[in-house]
Amino acid sequence: MLGSPVNHDGVIAMSSRSGYLEYRRDMVEMGVDLYELSPTLARSERRLGQFGTTYAALHMKTIVFDRKSVFLGSMNLDGRSEQYNTEVGVMIRSEALAREIISLMDFESSSYRVVVGPEGQLKWVNRRAGHNSIYLSEPEAEINRKIGAALLGLLIPHDWL
């Protein structure tokens, strides 16, 4: 589950998002289960923190690879974090831990799953109470955030995104 444009504050976070956008379609087409966190949905469910407060920064990275390994840490998987930041991460090969982490995540009620529809268009799907809501553009994303991320992505070295 990744942050959405709505919950990326600050120049670096917005620029990092622009690097992700370039690969989002490819990741989904390769079979990555990709979810984007919705602060609005998470706030209504009250399961993933107090969104809208200073305590709600989505900084911890938890990545499950092929349901067999887990990465935990504060480090982003980019050149800037690797070379310049003082952040850490640990890779753990454990199917049991991967299953446990997946079971703790609230994918359906607090995020949008990114999919590619039959016509090749990206879609955002939220499933709540047995009903799918489908969006044809990034839900909750204001145009100024989309433009800001795109512009910052042009100014910052690609390996930093």
Quick one: pLDDT at residue 95? 97
How far apart CA 50 and CA 64 sit, in angstroms, is 24
Quick one: pLDDT at residue 161? 60
Residues 45, 126: contact at Cβ < 8 Å? Answer: no
pTM over 0.85: no
Q: What is the pLDDT of residues 66-96, one digit of tens each?
A: 999 999 988 877 777 778 777 788 999 999 9
Q: What is the mean pLDDT of the chain?
A: 78
Q: How many residues does the chain have?
A: 161
Residue with tokens 């690797």: 82
The yes-or-no verdict on residue 4 having pLDDT over 80 is no
Q: What are phi and psi of 18, to 5 degrees?
A: -65, -35
Pairing verdict, β 111-116 and 89-93: unpaired
Instruction: Please report, as a single letter, which amino acid is at residue 30.
Output: M
Residues 89, 96: contact at Cβ < 8 Å? Answer: no
Q: What is the pLDDT of residues 145-154, one digit of tens each?
A: 777 767 777 7
Please state the rounded mean pLDDT for residues 2-23.
62
Q: What is the pLDDT of residues 95-128, one digit of tens each?
A: 999 999 988 876 777 889 999 999 999 999 998 7
How far apart CA 109 and CA 129 sit, in angstroms, is 8
